[in-house]
Amino acid sequence: MESVFAPWRIEWVERDDKNPDADCVFCSFRDADADRDNRVVARSDRAFVLLNNYPYNPGHVMVIPHAHTGAYGDLDEATLLDHAQLKQRTFDALERGLGPDAFNAGLNLGGKAAGGSIDDHLHTHVVPRWEGDTNFMPVVGDTQVIVEAVDDSYDRIHDAFAQQDGTSVPGPDAAVRIETAPKGL
């Protein structure tokens, strides 16, 4: 029997130690500078890409719009386009950096029933898949190994974003900056 596969149920739950009072960890990472420490790997005008510290698979990231809302209908046109184009770039970067066989991508919307733990700032999970893979976390189990694996994924994905057209890297520990405005704006 095959179980239902829903990697977007695996949520990012680690506290932001530097801003323990911040109401929303995604907003605090949006506004912070320490991209490498925070594992923010790429930034566009209206969205950013964050590695999941508790990945379902290596390269499990979230593409997060700047707007603090849990309602998809609240996103304005420019944000929708920018978020979608950053997803396109994310698939490309994961493809180049990690060479998966496939992807799962999804949103949790509508609160706890959807399975997510952060429901007031929407985010798209993108999970690379390999033939015959199985949940990376239970397989690996060891915290130090997971930290090293996430660091390694960060470097590979960062390099792959940096190879894309219309990008720059503003500093040694900075996320890759997507320079090109969304098409049509």
**Catalytic residue list:** 123
SS3 assignment, position 13:
coil
Largest distance between two CA atoms of the chain:
49
Q: Which stretch binds Zn ion (CB under 5 A): 4-12, 26-34, 76-84, 111-119?
A: 26-34
Q: Which stretch binds Zn ion (CB under 5 A): 42-50, 72-80, 113-121, 129-137?
A: 113-121
**Residue carrying the six token digits 């590979």:** 156
Question: Contact with Zn ion (CB under 5 A): which of 7, 8, 10, 27?
Answer: 27
- Copy the structure tokens of residue 127: 């999970």
**Residue carrying the six token digits 């792959």:** 160
* Shortest Å, Cβ 148 to Zn ion: 29
Nearest to 171 by CA among 162, 184, 163: 162
**Residue carrying the six token digits 């706890």:** 112
Task: Compare residues 18 and 101 and give the one whose CB is closer to Zn ion.
Answer: 18
Residue 24 interacts with Zn ion (CB under 5 A)? yes
* Shortest Å, Cβ 48 to Zn ion: 12
Residue 67 interacts with Zn ion (CB under 5 A)? no
Question: Contact with Zn ion (CB under 5 A): which of 8, 26, 56, 136?
Answer: 26
Residue 48 interacts with Zn ion (CB under 5 A)? no
Task: Compare residues 9 and 68 and give the one whose CB is closer to Zn ion.
Answer: 68
Residues contacting Zn ion: total by CB under 5 A: 5
* Helix H or strand E segment including 63: strand 61-65
Nearest to 118 by CA among 6, 7, 14: 14
Residue type, position 168, single letter: S
Q: Which residues bind Zn ion (CB under 5 A)?
A: 24, 26-27, 68, 121
